[in-house]
Amino acid sequence: MSERIPGDSEQWQRLSPWALLILFLGGLLRFVRENLPLVAGAGAGAALLEQIGLRELGLALTLILLIAGLISLLYYRRFRFRLDGDVLVVQRGVLERREVKVSAERVQHMALEQPVYMRPFDVVRFSLDTPGGATADVELPGIRRELAERLQQRLERARGEAVGDDDPAGAAESARTPSPPLFRIGPLGLTRHGLASNHAYVIAALLAPVLQPLERMAMRNPELLAELPWLERAAESPWLALSVTVVALLLVLMLVSVVVAWLRFYGFTLVREGSRYVQYSGLFTRQQQTLSAAKLQSLEWVQTAVGRGLRCGYLVCHQYGLSAGPDTAGQRFLVPGLRQSEGPTLGAVFWPGSGDEAAGALELGYQRVHRLYRRVVALRLIVIAAVLALIFLGLTGFPGWLALIGVGAVIAWPVAWLRWRAVAWRRSGRFLCVRRGLLGRRTTLFPLEKVQAVTVQQSWVQRRRQLATLHLQLASGPVVVPFIPLATARAVANEALYRVACRPSLPLGAEQQPGDQAEQGQEEQDQNP
């Protein structure tokens, strides 16, 4: 079926015929991803194969493939979309027809993804999400690249007109004119990001269910160890076996983490096109993500414990609705492989005109919170350990659980000291920078006019020392500055409310209105002593 560029609001468009392949393979991969860890972890796959045999298993897999193909065909035939003015309308469903409407002014993130098996046909997967969505609200699983780019330009133009952009066609015009890249990652940066990112933790969680079946297989087949004399000698010493296992797992995790970074961020290029930022990346699956400058709420400079040692990190651009999950999620606008000196420089680029304010807020010179915070954190950890020990003692009657209190008391103070060393804040002009963490560091940078609600909170412990905890609510999530002087907390809160009040108003729907929530925050502040 031929595709047309959506210019007529009455004309429905359908997916490319090649979308059948995307739907079929995507459904199979999703089925494997959701069920394989459970089957492999429980060892049910080997037991099932022994009971039913290869022939029956092949017939079952063939039946599953036929059902998946039939569902993909029905989904493709019942999927259609159109652009009605500045509203994208999508109808989909197999047994139940659903209609989704998304206005251009509500779109905050658009992405184009092209798997390697779709490159010969020039077909892409187009997706967009709105504020508060943890996953993509609308996804067109297979349309021509020309159609996707034209659709993206029309939504960008309509969104620019909705927020009062002086040149709503600037992004579309600059997209045709090549612009110098703001950042481009190289092989060393890719490797460094793979070693320092949190991919290893995600991979370890996925591999954990597989380790126990492998151990049982090795115990049932001692001849496997006989073929590897060095492994048999290591198994005779528990400490040596544990050391070899830990080192081998770490090497495997590091290798896989670097491979994942290369697959996802190969050829990463960040450019600015008019009033938006666009990034291109991917080795086999090429991805294009778009970030509107008007939708940017905060920047987060992230350094893991390994990243601090390698003096590198990555930037995460947060928009409306801070979605939960790791930073490897495709929906996040992430700039990987930055050296420690490049983070502040690139952070200032995302807010044009900020000059040294944004860059200075991300540099050194933070103010630490009061030392009382360290004591409170340690006491909380000790209380938690004591409560857990009493619960286990009551359930089992074993007095050895009381030793958990002593272990908690020993660990609590070093952990509290590390937490206190990590928590700090800095103000530079209209920007506020808040740092937190334990071994790693997460530093959030945002302009004060982005604040939606402010709360100055005091506990009975803080009242005696004239301290307070400052709670700042952004559209991307909460930011907390604990145990700072009460006068400082009130000064920052008043400055934020003043900048919100002086901020030019935007049309309803273009951006969440912070006025009402800010006034509510001011009332909560006045009620606190």
- What is the model's pLDDT at position 21? 79
Residue 4 lies in a domain: no
The CA distance from 205 to 37, in Å, is 10
Are 175 and 46 members of one domain? Answer: yes
- CB distance 151 to 83 below 8 Å: yes
Percentage of the chain surpassing pLDDT 70? 70
Are 246 and 355 members of one domain? Answer: no
Residue 13 lies in a domain: no
- CB distance 175 to 155 below 8 Å: no
Sequence-ordered list of residues with C-beta below 8 angstroms from that of 181, at least 6 positions apart, any chain: 269, 270, 271
pLDDT higher than threshold 60 for residue 9 = no
pLDDT higher than threshold 80 for residue 129 = no
Sequence-ordered list of residues with C-beta below 8 angstroms from that of 52, at least 6 positions apart, any chain: 60
Dump pLDDT digits (tens) for 458-473. Answer: 999 899 999 999 999 9
- Give the pLDDT band (50/70/90) at residue 15: confident
Residue 5 lies in a domain: no
The CA distance from 335 to 270, in Å, is 8
Residue 180 lies in a domain: yes
- Give the pLDDT band (50/70/90) at residue 42: very low
- CB distance 125 to 140 below 8 Å: yes
Residue 320 lies in a domain: yes
Q: Mean pLDDT: which of 3-12, 21-30, 147-156 is highest?
A: 147-156
Least confident stretch, 26-35, 170-179, 464-473, 514-523: 514-523
Q: At what angle do helices 238-265 and 187-196 cross, to 10 degrees?
A: 130
The neighbour count for residue 212, using CB atoms within 10 Å, is 13
The secondary element (H helix, E strand) that includes residue 33 is helix 19-42
- What is the model's pLDDT at position 504? 60
- Amino acid letter, 516: D
Are 456 and 353 members of one domain? Answer: yes
The CA distance from 326 to 324, in Å, is 7
- Amino acid letter, 223: E
pLDDT higher than threshold 50 for residue 527 = no
Are 481 and 394 members of one domain? Answer: no
DSSP secondary-structure letter at 118? G
The CA distance from 319 to 409, in Å, is 40
Q: Which residues pair with 280 in a beta bridge?
A: 269, 288
Dump pLDDT digits (tens) for 340-353. Answer: 888 877 877 887 65
Dump pLDDT digits (tens) for 134-187. Answer: 455 688 888 888 888 888 888 887 766 555 554 444 544 544 455 788 889 989
Are 71 and 192 members of one domain? Answer: no
Residue 14 lies in a domain: no
The CA distance from 505 to 331, in Å, is 28
- Give the pLDDT band (50/70/90) at residue 132: low
- CB distance 420 to 373 below 8 Å: yes
Least confident stretch, 193-207, 215-229, 235-249: 215-229
Q: Read off the pLDDT of each residue in 372-400 and give the average, rounded to a whole number.
A: 90
Q: How far apart are the first and last CA of the chain?
A: 69
Are 469 and 487 members of one domain? Answer: yes
Distance of CA 237 to the CA centre of its chain: 42
Residue 1 lies in a domain: no
- What is the model's pLDDT at position 2? 43
- What is the model's pLDDT at position 482? 94
pLDDT higher than threshold 70 for residue 356 = no
Q: Read off the pLDDT of each residue in 311-326 and give the average, rounded to a whole number.
A: 72
Least confident stretch, 17-26, 112-121, 163-172, 226-235: 163-172
- What is the model's pLDDT at position 84? 84
- CB distance 465 to 370 below 8 Å: yes
Are 176 and 225 members of one domain? Answer: no
- What is the model's pLDDT at position 69? 84
- CB distance 491 to 432 below 8 Å: no
Sequence-ordered list of residues with C-beta below 8 angstroms from that of 217, at least 6 positions apart, any chain: 224
Are 311 and 356 members of one domain? Answer: yes
Overall domain count for the chain: 4
- What is the model's pLDDT at position 133? 53
- What would the DSSP string read from start to end of 473-511? EETTEEEEEEEEEHHHHHHHHHHHHHHHHHSPP--BTTB
The CA distance from 344 to 147, in Å, is 37
- What is the model's pLDDT at position 140? 87
The strand ranges marked E within 295-440 are 298-303, 312-318, 333-339, 367-368, 424-428, 431-436
Percentage of the chain surpassing pLDDT 90? 17
Q: Phi first, then psi: give them for residue 367, nearest 5 degrees.
A: -100, 125
- What is the model's pLDDT at position 43? 46
Are 101 and 205 members of one domain? Answer: no
- What is the model's pLDDT at position 519? 39
Q: How many Cα atoms are found within 13 Å in the side-chain-facing hemisphere of 266?
A: 11
Are 26 and 154 members of one domain? Answer: yes
pLDDT higher than threshold 50 for residue 521 = no
Dump pLDDT digits (tens) for 213-241. Answer: 555 655 566 555 555 565 555 556 666 66
Least confident stretch, 21-30, 42-51, 72-81, 257-266: 42-51
Q: Is 461 left (phi over 0), alpha (psi -120 to 50) or beta?
A: alpha
Are 322 and 347 members of one domain? Answer: yes
Q: Read off the pLDDT of each residue in 482-494 and give the average, rounded to a whole number.
A: 93
- CB distance 436 to 422 below 8 Å: yes
Tokens, residue 516: 């009402």
- What is the model's pLDDT at position 18? 82
The neighbour count for residue 529, using CB atoms within 10 Å, is 8
Nearest CA among 422, 518, 523, 421 for reference residue 472: 518
Dump pLDDT digits (tens) for 408-429. Answer: 889 999 999 999 999 999 888 8
Q: Is the full-model pTM beyond 0.85? A: no
Mean pLDDT of the chain: 77
The CA distance from 100 to 332, in Å, is 22
Residue 8 lies in a domain: no
Domain extent for 411: 372-420
Are 390 and 492 members of one domain? Answer: no
Number of H helices, E strands in the chain: 17, 20
pLDDT higher than threshold 70 for residue 337 = yes
Q: Read off the pLDDT of each residue in 496-525 and give the average, rounded to a whole number.
A: 53
Single residue among 405, 420, 435 that ends a domain in this structure: 420
For tokens 């090649």, what's the residue?
18
